[in-house]
Amino acid sequence: MNPTGTGNHRACSRTPLDLDVALFYRDRPALYGKLRDISFGGALVEIDSVPLKLNEPVALDVFLKEDDRDEHIYSLSAVVIRKPSEGAGLKFDDYDTDTIKGLRRLYQHALT
């Protein structure tokens, strides 16, 4: 990655999505926005105000409503790796079984 955080060095292909998210970092209030695309390696989040720094750890909550049932919330740990003007490029870390299940469900939602 180049020092400006731009460029495209993705190891996984991205799937477009339009889901509500909350981004948490440090001890600040949540930033709310939209999940624009996702892969098994990371995601692009669109947020109006992005005071994030490169390599900063964050937590991402993704909200998914299925068939008029309750919203499912998937929490993912990530690190900021890009700072495009529209938001933040995130790389997921700390994968566990629940994270993999959540990512699979998000992919299934995107394909329907």
- Residue 58 maps to a domain: yes
- Inter-CA distances, 44 with 21, 67, 70, Å: 11, 25, 25
pLDDT one-digit tens code per residue, 15-50: 788 889 999 998 889 999 999 988 888 899 998 776
What are the tokens at 95?
A: 């994968």
Task: Indicate if the alpha-carbon torsion angle 43, 108, 65, 96 is positive or negative.
Answer: negative
Domain membership of residue 1 (yes or no) is: no
For the residues 44-63, what does the mean pLDDT come to?
88
Give a yes or no: residue 5 inside a domain.
no
Residues 6+ apart with CB under 8 A from 29: none
Enter the DSSP assignment of 98: H
**CATH code, 19:** 2.40.10.220
Express each pLDDT in 69-79 by its tens digit: 767 788 888 99
pTM of the model: 0.77
Token pair of 91 as six digits: 């790389």
How many structural domains does the chain have?
1
Among 52, 58, 60, residue whose Cα is nearest residue 87: 52
